Amino acid sequence: MMTGVAMESKIIIAIAVAAVVVVGVVAAAVVLMSGGEGGSVKYITLAPKDMKANLASGQIDAYIAWEPFVSDSVVGDVGEVLMWSDEIMDDHPCCVVAVRTGFLSETSVNGTDLTNRFVRAHVDATEWMLDALADEAGANYTKLVEMAVQFTARNESVVKAAFVHIQFGYEMGSDFEEALKKFTDMYIDTNMTTEEKLDERGYESVSDFVSSYVDDFYLATAPNVAESATILNPDRPIKLGYLLGDLHQLAQFVAQDKTVLGTDKSMFEKYGLKVEAAVGAPFANGGAEMGGFAAGNVDIGYLGAPPTILQHLNAGIGTKIVAQANSEGSGLVVSAGSGITSLSDLENKTVATPGESSIQFLLLKIALEREGLDLEIKT
Amino acid sequence: MQILRDDSIGILGRVTGLLGSWRRLFLGAASLAVFIALWSLYSAWLHGDWPFAYRSWSQPAEYIPYPSEVLYAFVDSFTHRDPFTSLYMTSHIYASLKRMFFGFVLAFLVAVPLGLLMGRSANAEAIGKPLVELFRPIPPLAWVPIFLIALKLFWGPIAIVFLGIFFPILLNVMFGAKSVDPVLIDAARTLGAKRRDIFTKVVLPFTIPYMMTGIKVGIGVGWMCIVAAEMLGAVGGGVGLFIYNMAYQGTMYDRMYAGMLVIGLLSVLTTGAAGFLEQRLSRWMGMK
């Protein structure tokens, strides 16, 4: 097997050469890596739950996310809010209530009627929250904070700070549709979806798509929904999708709470609904929840508007938007004491976003474009 | 630890002599063709296209696009910037290769000496084995959140790949160093070899084929980890990030499969290169 001394020296030489090459390439790569560029704001994608820690460790200079991930850093003295999302686009859409079209035509129960009742409970819960928030000295405010603490696993001060910038609401006005049109246009501009996909789903234009995808039938008829003494769907509960600890979606938590009404019945039960968390809920992000819709595991769900739009168009997942859950409530956070006081200070800095299709990313892009800055992936 | 050797094709090759390599090529092409044909049929069934008259399933047909659509998306990813990161596939490949390279170099530099040590010293094995057995089965994915924060955005993803490559190399080298024929060592000793000589002239050369096997398996596992490593916080993109974005943000499944195809091809190319190196090494060392 071995052929004497020559063998040994060959091996040693080979190892030495390999080592030199390896060290050389590593060194060259490190040198190449450190070369900087100029002219724009750099972004990376991070899960909102990881943003605070990355801001604290100096990995990123700023991030844009939804509540409570904004107040998390502010209350923890890690970050300061440079700009709230409503300063970028007033009353911009955020989370919505979506229903699976397959559920509407469900035969074992009356899917349309159940959806109508669900929307009514959502409206009641949202109004209860708005009333509670209007009076910070009231017992209901304390109760709401308690529920929010439980749902988000945050402390009271984070939750209270977060409430200030979230606009809960269910109405889907013309501003809402206009904003969705703008977002869809931006998706088409960047090829996240295409005109061909619109056509494939049977829509003539962006506005045709938005006006039929946003279905306000259920909101319009919600006031006519009657209470029910019995549960109408005992054997076929509504499978509810929602995101992990997303404060924007607190309405579903309130609607499930049996103590809010003081009648031992939750708002869902008041209207005869049995509601269960869907398999996989709480979901980590809207994309995963759309997967639940596609698989038929979710009947009605709370999630951000972008994944419903993109995945409906791109993958043909049968959903529609039946109500809003909130507007506003996101913020651009910079690290505390960083000296960043304006958007232009962000030039060449690294900002974390939840992903290119998120509303937060679109808003950041809109805000930077106004300052003449580009948003580019960090390299 | 199983040692992987390529005997299956060798038998056919020997039987058919010179025609062997053609036959192998034919069989390889045939298996790919059958796979693509079955895939096309399944897609057609989902889409309700010919030869199926109706849409057979409630799942969106986009889940399994046609092979041609995936091929188109594959080519498109090289000629057009991807809609999310605005990068070309070449940039993604560069970013992934860089991570693989750093992960591999680190894993190699740490695993080979450790494996030799644990293979030749009973004490070292007794010390190292419990840790290896404890950490080996932990999926690299489980480390993602903490690596990203503790090791930062550049080294975090590399560390994930490192973990995938590290254990196969370590275990193979250890196994190789352990299984050196004692007769060889005795023979060397009889000829007056010192401990150092035995190590450099007997143990090390004997271990190299095992090490190469470890490298080939490790590179494969490394590519498996790349999606997990690049899902979040991937600076400068990456094929894993591309796949993640196409699946979760865009539901552009044709592009997602195209990204998978890229990973598969990269893995074939890199393990192929390692295999080539292995052949060269063993021929050079006079083992074939």
User: From the CB of residue A191, how many other CB atoms can be counted at a distance below 10 Å?
Assistant: 15
Q: Which ranges of chain B would DSSP assign to H, the alpha helix?
A: 8-16, 20-47, 67-79, 89-120, 122-135, 140-150, 152-178, 182-190, 195-197, 204-230, 239-244, 253-284
Count interface pairs A-B at CB distance under 8 A: 124
CB contact under 8 A, A315 and B58: no
Alpha-carbon gap, residue B262 to A88, rounded angstroms:
39
Condensed to tens digits (0 to 9), the pLDDT of residues A296-314 reads 899 999 999 999 999 999 9
| Range ranked top by mean pLDDT from A365-369, B45-49, B232-236 | A365-369
Answer yes or no: is pLDDT of B181 > 50. yes
Which residue of A8, A59, A285 is the best one to mutate when testing the B interface, meaning the one whose CB has the most B CBs within 10 A? A59
Q: What is the pLDDT of residue B17?
A: 58
Residue of chain B whose Cα is closest to the Cα of A58: B152
Comparison of pLDDT for B93 and B63, the residue scoring more? B93
| Range ranked top by mean pLDDT from B18-27, B104-113, B200-209 | B104-113
Condensed to tens digits (0 to 9), the pLDDT of residues A110-146 reads 999 999 999 999 999 999 999 999 999 999 999 999 9
Q: What is the pLDDT of residue A1?
A: 43
Q: What is the pLDDT of residue B254?
A: 92
* Angle at CA of residue A283, ends A281 and A285, nearest 5°: 160
Residues 6+ apart with CB under 8 A from A170: A97, A119, A122, A123, A126, A219, A251, A323, A324, A325
Residue of chain B whose Cα is closest to the Cα of A14: B281
Chain A positions touching B158 (Cβ under 8 A) are: none
Comparison of pLDDT for B77 and B193, the residue scoring more? B77
CB contact under 8 A, A54 and B101: no
Residue pair A18/B211 in contact by the 8 Å Cβ criterion:
no
Considering chain B, what percentage of its residues have pLDDT values greater than 70? 89
Q: What is the pLDDT of residue B105?
A: 96
Question: What is the residue-averaged pLDDT of chain A?
Answer: 89
Which long-range contacts does A215-219 make (Cβ < 8 Å, 24+ apart)?
A: A215/A320, A215/A321, A215/A322, A216/A172, A216/A322, A217/A322, A218/A99, A218/A115, A218/A116, A218/A119, A218/A322, A218/A323, A219/A119, A219/A123, A219/A170, A219/A171, A219/A172, A219/A322, A219/A323
Q: What is the pLDDT of residue A35?
A: 43
Q: What is the pLDDT of residue B18?
A: 57
The neighbouring-strand residues paired with A240 are A277, A300
Q: What is the pLDDT of residue B1?
A: 43
Q: Is A12 in CB contact (< 8 Å) with chain B?
A: yes
Q: What is the pLDDT of residue B287?
A: 64
Query: At which residue do the structure tokens 């606009």 appear?
Result: A167
Mean pLDDT to the nearest integer, B125-140: 92
Condensed to tens digits (0 to 9), the pLDDT of residues B243-263 reads 998 988 888 899 999 999 999
CB contact under 8 A, B62 and A315: yes
Answer yes or no: is pLDDT of B239 > 50. yes
Give the sheet arrangement for strand A275-277, strand by strand.
A275-277, A238-241, A300-304, A95-100, A319-324
Answer yes or no: is pLDDT of B234 > 70. yes
Upstream peptide bond of A68 is cis (omega within 30 degrees of 0)? yes
Q: What is the pLDDT of residue B11?
A: 55
- Fold observed for domain A95-172+214-328: Dipeptide-binding Protein; domain 3 (3.10.105)
Q: What is the pLDDT of residue B255?
A: 93
Closest by alpha carbon to A351, among A39, A42, A71?
A42
Q: How far is A303 from chain B (nearest CA, A)?
A: 13
Chain B positions touching A25 (Cβ under 8 A) are: 101
Q: What is the pLDDT of residue A237?
A: 95
Q: Is A315 in CB contact (< 8 Å) with chain B?
A: yes
Q: What is the pLDDT of residue B59?
A: 61
Q: How confident is chain A (379 residues) per 10-residue block, as mean pLDDT? A: 53 63 61 55 89 90 93 92 93 94 91 96 97 94 95 92 93 93 94 92 95 95 94 95 92 95 94 94 87 92 94 92 94 92 94 91 93 91
CB contact under 8 A, A310 and B251: yes
Q: Which H helix or E strand runs over A237?
A: none
User: From the CB of residue B219, how many other CB atoms can be counted at a distance below 10 Å?
Assistant: 28
Q: Is A27 in CB contact (< 8 Å) with chain B?
A: no
For chain A, the domains span: 1-35, 40-91+330-377, 95-172+214-328
Residues 6+ apart with CB under 8 A from A9: none
